[in-house]
């Protein structure tokens, strides 16, 4: 499994997909930083800039971005990380 250097998960409160993403990352033993974009307007702007949208969750893994996803999409995204290296 890909071992990232930096993982940031941008979330919104009361977001089921955000909770699923957190749970999956935790279950895989992946260290990550959670950023609540509703509490941090600068983080919200950054999330929108890197993802092109305002929906959450958005995950940034070593510069790669996946936006507005569920657990299934996260698994596929994670499996593809590091394959270009």
pTM: 0.93
Q: What is the pLDDT of residues 9-48, one digit of tens each?
A: 999 999 999 999 999 999 999 999 999 999 999 999 999 9
Residue 79 and residue 39: Cα distance in Å, rounded?
31
Is pLDDT of 2 > 60?
Answer: yes
Domain range list for the chain: 7-80
- Report pLDDT for 62: 95
Class of domain 7-80: alpha beta
Give Cα separations from 21 to 58, 84, 85 (angstroms). Answer: 9, 24, 25
Q: Mean pLDDT, to the nearest integer, of 57-64?
A: 96
């Amino acid at each position: 499994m890909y071992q990232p250097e930096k993982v940031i998960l941008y979330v919104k409160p009361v977001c089921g997909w955000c909770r699923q993403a957190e749970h999956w990352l935790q279950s895989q033993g992946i260290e990550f930083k959670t950023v609540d974009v509703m509490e941090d307007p600068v983080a919200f702007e950054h999330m929108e800039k890197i993802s092109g949208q305002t929906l959450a969750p958005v995950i940034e893994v070593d510069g790669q971005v996946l936006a507005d996803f569920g657990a299934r999409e996260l698994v596929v995204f994670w499996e593809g990380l590091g394959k270009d290296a």
